[in-house]
Amino acid sequence: MSYNALIFGGIGSLVETSHIQLACFNEAFANLGIDFVWTEGAYAESLNDSGGHKRLAELSVDDGRTLTDDEIANVHAEKTRLFQEHIVRDGLTLRDGVPELLHAAMARGAKLAWATTTARENIMAIFKAVEDLAPDMFEFIGDDSRAENSQPATDIYDAALAAMNLSPDAAVAIEDNPKGVAATKAAGLYTIAFPGAMHVHHDFSTADKRLASLADAAMMIAE
């Protein structure tokens, strides 16, 4: 496979955190006195929308009311605090095959980018939580300030390619969710779908390849 850069997409393309984030959302609701428990099925369905604030705005809680803007901000802030504390305390491991792929890409001299649009504080917490991941491995690291429009818009991938001075045909993207795949394909990138735990039953047919382990991708790019 010919490429000059490997672009990881959302958090889930590197580490699996969906169940942790769900637990932290539910703890945040309880801490703030909001009578609501997000079930796994409903939360997984909500992941079709990008951004925690947007997902919270669409919830029906208590007797069917929606959250106020202040409640949305408070819940999201509390969930983020709990999430960061949890992963730094308990640690995270890279997803299956990610270490092999990172090492294969670096051995080949390829550039690495992480086109995430999460908050910078979450990114730094993940670096603290994952032993085999460091900021200096990446030529570009995105965050929520680097993309005006969320996926499936191409903003964050356009920013990553511009930062590396590369055209789309020189890079391979890895995404764990359908909207991420839609964004990478719209940006003109060869795309490997690597479905996260709460996305395994979603449609990834527009991706160029779907893999259950990135160890397979490591073997592909080493060829």
The residues near 192 (Cβ < 8 Å, ≥ 6 apart) are 172, 173, 174, 175, 207, 208, 209, 210, 211, 214, 217
- CATH number of domain containing 81: 1.10.150.240
Q: 173 and 118, same structural domain?
A: yes
Q: 76 and 115, same structural domain?
A: no
In this prediction, residue 3 carries a pLDDT of 86
Backbone angles phi, psi at 113, to 5 degrees: -135, 150
Q: 180 and 123, same structural domain?
A: yes
Q: 110 and 70, same structural domain?
A: no
Domain range holding 140? 5-16+93-222
Q: Lowest mean pLDDT of 16-25, 50-59, 73-82, 186-195, name the range.
A: 50-59
How many helices (DSSP H) and strands (DSSP E) are in the chain? 9, 6
Q: 140 and 207, same structural domain?
A: yes
In this prediction, residue 50 carries a pLDDT of 64
Domain count for the chain, please give it: 2
Boundary of a domain, candidates 72, 90, 108: 90
Q: 127 and 80, same structural domain?
A: no
Q: 97 and 207, same structural domain?
A: yes
Q: 41 and 10, same structural domain?
A: no
Structure tokens at 81: 């605090």
Q: 164 and 137, same structural domain?
A: yes
Q: 218 and 195, same structural domain?
A: yes
Write the pLDDT tens digit of every residue in 126-166. 999 999 999 999 999 999 999 999 889 999 999 999 999 99
- CATH number of domain containing 213: 3.40.50.1000
Q: Is the pLDDT of residue 54 over 90?
A: no
Q: 9 and 104, same structural domain?
A: yes
In this prediction, residue 222 carries a pLDDT of 58
Mean pLDDT, range 63-73, rounded to an integer: 92
Write the pLDDT tens digit of every residue in 84-120. 999 999 999 999 999 999 999 999 999 999 999 999 9
Boundary of a domain, candidates 71, 90, 109: 90
